Amino acid sequence: MPEVEIVFKRIAQEMGIDSHDITKTVELIDEGNTIPFIARYRKEITGNMTDESLRTLYDKLTLYRNFEKRKADILRMLTEKEILSPELAKALHEARNITELEDIYRPYRPKKRTRAVIAREKGLQPLADYIMLGEEEPERRAKEFVDEEKEVFSAADALQGARDIIAEVISDDPGARRLLRELVYRTGFIVSRAKGDSPGNYEMYANFREKCGKLQPHRVLALNRGEKEGFLQVKMELSDEEALPIIRHLFIKDSFSVQSTAYLHEAITDGWKRLLYPSLERELRSELTEKGEEQALKVFKDNLKNLLMVPPVSGKRLLAIDPGIRTGSKVACVDETGKLLDTAVIFPIPPHNEKEKSAGMVMELIRKYDINAVAIGNGTGCREIEEFVTGLFAADELELHYTIVNEAGASVYSASKLGQGEFPGLDVAERSAVSIARRLQDPLSELVKIDPRSIGVGQYQHDVNQKRLKEVLDGVVESCVNQVGVDLNTASASLLGYIAGLNKTVAANIVHYREENGSFKSRKELQNVPKLGPAVFKQCAGFLRIPGAENYFDRSAVHPESYATAKQVMEHLAISFDDLGRSSRIPEVDGKELADELGVGELTLIDIIKEFKRPGRDPREGLPEPVFRKGILDIKDLREGMQLSGVVRNVVDFGAFVDIGVHQDGLVHISELSENYVRHPLDVVKVSDVVDVKVISVDREKNRIGLSMKT
């Protein structure tokens, strides 16, 4: 079977998808089509695979293609060296993963000048072979290899060199490595100890011991970080009494001579302790780290998606405050569209305590711009600003509400070239205040301006492969942006840059064209934008909407390639453009029957009719909006047993952090998420969920709050 078919068949089996769909989908990918475009506009070809499934397929495709490439490279190198036997070729072809492949290749891999290499250079390989065959009187045979020119001065020297060769053979043996690797996972332990006088933040790992096969991914990353920072000493622990008999069974037969058996015992012990054990420890630590990183990526990916898909707070004029102590708190007012109306700096909290003056300034802005709500950044000083704002509301009997906004990454945006370009006349903190307001109005549009790694909804994100992290998170942002779609006439270059088929250059060209020529009147006009050719247009057009376009389809998610089909559907349903956008006027139809009649895919037809009913529907509709408050609590007000409502701010492997309005997020441990068994917190909650919790513990000294979601 050709290697390409093996890859497709393997992916199909692992994903539970028809191999025909895999083949056709890979063809689409190889043709240069983007994941969002394939997911939305090629459903018939993919078997209606989701965006997420397509990205999983792409990752597996890349992994297995690289695996097959590595296999081909090894076969080529062994062929060139004229050491590729039919048995070796068969073993390589049958290898199922990179570990098996490298184990098979290991004995033939070019080596540095190891003790075994030096012994072979001295001509001692035949003696090692003699001993490994269990022959009689190896000491007598060893005398034949004494050669002062080769620095083999005695039989003892020859026997030591032979043992070095045997030790390396044992260490490189694929069967031994496989069995010992299985033993490590089954009975081995990862052990950590405090390295110095204090374990720092790693107190729970100061005297830690856990079976390798049961070690949780987040603990692996915590151990790695503690080791890297010099607080912990981490190692693998496996009993020699368990490992050595396995190796002896592989290399020593009952028929072997007593003398050869004794030398093999020595070589096996040396090979295990000096070579095989350290090699397996490195391999195990690397594999555990890889699994830990993948789990961290999954958690970060899911959290980011849920954060980006928080519904916009529409129709509100906002006053946003970025808390500050020494240099004051920056205030920004924005209208319903996010347009900056005004800025100010107030000093209501220590050390300045200019409460009256600050109150007057804020009240003037609220009345002048008809402000509907207040957004407060959750940085240093948030608690004090929250008290100031609620006091202001009470004193003036204002029917206003406020909410706390996670400002993670706002300072990154404010100091960036993008932030400077958008607001050249503002300082960094003022830009941050604008960003806080806008990320409440439309989280997706604002958060795309920030490196996803800076948004603060992950676990151990600084400990994982940063290149892989960026790839995964950029994929999440791309998925969310295209799922929602963008207004072609208002979207920023940052937002446009995530649209399928567009890059930063073309996105900037769209904005420049818009500034030079005014608003786009139709999608067709996109073809006038520099560097936006037919191939790019095909990928991006369906995700770019023009709400006021004369052509109704330009307002919707219907792709230009399906406009003719959409008109046919309208004729069949006997509806006009005046009926579109009004669900009650769109009759129900048998999708399959009509699709067959029109010669179009049923899934494409269903999507077109959905757009007839609600053009460009925002998938974020119906999801819980941010919680607005009027009053506040302090951690000193909390008591065990209190029932509160809160917002999930972050989800990690061991639980969820919930904002209950006391400035310090409380932890709902995984054991407190449900009465039932919880495999992972993401199975129960997600970022931005509004949840009811009960206070179960309050540690005011350490500023820790324990919460429960159990009924």
DSSP letters spanning 603-650: HHHHHHHHHHHSTT--TTTTSPPPPPBSS---GGG--TT-EEEEEEEE
Asked whether the beta carbons of 56 and 301 are under 8 A apart, the reply is no
The residue type found at 458 is G
Nearest-angstrom CA–CA distance, 172 and 175: 9
Which tokens is 509 given? 């060209």
Q: Please report the pLDDT score of residue 3 as a whole number.
A: 58
Which tokens is 327 given? 């240099």
- With 90 as the cut, is the pLDDT of residue 259 above it? yes
Which of 33-42, 71-80, 351-360, 590-599 is the least confident region? 590-599
Which of 48-57, 258-267, 613-622 is the least confident region? 613-622
Sign of dihedral through CA atoms 33, 34, 40, 44? positive
Q: Please report the pLDDT score of residue 555 as a whole number.
A: 95
Which tokens is 563 given? 């406009």
Could you tell me whether strands 690-699 and 643-652 are parallel, antiparallel, or unpaired per DSSP bridges?
antiparallel
Q: Please report the pLDDT score of residue 632 as a whole number.
A: 59
Sequence-ordered list of residues with C-beta below 8 angstroms from that of 472, at least 6 positions apart, any chain: 297, 300, 301
Q: What are the C-alpha distances in Å from 398 to residues 313, 371, 389, 401, 662? A: 20, 11, 11, 9, 22
Span 8-35, average pLDDT = 93
Q: Which is higher by pLDDT, 517 or 411?
A: 517
- With 90 as the cut, is the pLDDT of residue 37 above it? yes
Which tokens is 633 given? 């609590």
Which tokens is 254 given? 């009952």
Nearest-angstrom CA–CA distance, 102 and 91: 11
Domain at 484-613: CATH architecture? Orthogonal Bundle (1.10)
Residue 650 pairs in a beta bridge with 657
Share of the chain above pLDDT 70, in %: 99
Burial code (b: 16+ CB inside 10 Å, e: under 16) for 267-282 equals: bbbbbbeebbbeebbe
Span 668-697, average pLDDT = 93
CATH code of the domain occupying 3-77: 1.10.10.650
Span 663-676, average pLDDT = 93
115-301: CATH, from 2.60.120.260, 3.75.10.10, 1.10.3500.10, 3.40.50.1820:
1.10.3500.10
Q: Please report the pLDDT score of residue 633 as a whole number.
A: 65
- With 60 as the cut, is the pLDDT of residue 650 above it? yes
Asked whether the beta carbons of 164 and 132 are under 8 A apart, the reply is no
Q: Please report the pLDDT score of residue 1 as a whole number.
A: 47
Count Cβ atoms within 10 A of the Cβ of residue 526 and give its class: 0-12 exposed, 13-18 middle, 19 or more buried.
buried
Q: Please report the pLDDT score of residue 660 as a whole number.
A: 86
Span 495-510, average pLDDT = 97
Share of the chain above pLDDT 90, in %: 78
Nearest to 330 by CA among 227, 226, 224, 407: 407
Q: Please report the pLDDT score of residue 498 as a whole number.
A: 97
- With 90 as the cut, is the pLDDT of residue 635 above it? no
Which of 77-81, 455-459, 560-564, 616-620 is the least confident region? 455-459
Mean pLDDT over each residue of the chain, to the nearest integer: 92
Sequence-ordered list of residues with C-beta below 8 angstroms from that of 183, at least 6 positions apart, any chain: 238, 242, 243, 246
- 456 pLDDT band, cuts 50/70/90, is confident
- With 60 as the cut, is the pLDDT of residue 254 above it? yes
- With 70 as the cut, is the pLDDT of residue 630 above it? no
- 374 pLDDT band, cuts 50/70/90, is very high
Span 200-229, average pLDDT = 94
Span 617-645, average pLDDT = 79
Nearest to 28 by CA among 49, 3, 7, 2: 49
Sequence-ordered list of residues with C-beta below 8 angstroms from that of 352, at least 6 positions apart, any chain: 328
H/E stretch holding 187: helix 174-187
- 394 pLDDT band, cuts 50/70/90, is confident
Nearest-angstrom CA–CA distance, 25 and 49: 9
Q: Which is higher by pLDDT, 459 or 102?
A: 102
How many helices (DSSP H) and strands (DSSP E) are in the chain? Answer: 29, 15
Which tokens is 648 given? 């999930």
- With 60 as the cut, is the pLDDT of residue 458 above it? yes
Span 460-485, average pLDDT = 91
Residue with tokens 């003892």: 156
| Fold classification of 635-708 (topology level) | OB fold (Dihydrolipoamide Acetyltransferase, E2P) (2.40.50)
Q: Please report the pLDDT score of residue 463 as a whole number.
A: 85
Q: What is the pLDDT of residues 180-195, one digit of tens each?
A: 999 999 999 999 999 9
DSSP 147: B
Sequence-ordered list of residues with C-beta below 8 angstroms from that of 691, at least 6 positions apart, any chain: 645, 646, 647, 648, 658, 668, 685, 709
Could you tell me whether strands 655-659 and 666-669 are parallel, antiparallel, or unpaired per DSSP bridges?
antiparallel
Residues forming CATH 1.10.150.310 domain(s) in the chain: 484-613
Residue with tokens 């070729």: 89
Q: What are the C-alpha distances in Å from 560 to residues 467, 481, 666, 690? A: 35, 19, 49, 39
Sequence-ordered list of residues with C-beta below 8 angstroms from that of 439, at least 6 positions apart, any chain: 405, 410, 446, 447
Residues forming CATH 2.40.50.140 domain(s) in the chain: 635-708
Could you tell me whether strands 704-708 and 666-669 are parallel, antiparallel, or unpaired per DSSP bridges?
parallel
Q: Please report the pLDDT score of residue 2 as a whole number.
A: 58
Nearest to 687 by CA among 368, 309, 355: 309
Angle between helices 602-613 and 563-573 (to 10 degrees): 70
Span 169-183, average pLDDT = 96
Tally of CB atoms within 10 A around 689: 17
Nearest to 361 by CA among 344, 376, 349: 344
Q: Is the pTM of this model over 0.75?
A: yes
Phi then psi for residue 342, to 5 deg, are -165, 160
Q: May I ask the CATH class of domain 318-441?
A: alpha beta
Nearest to 448 by CA among 625, 648, 593, 307: 307
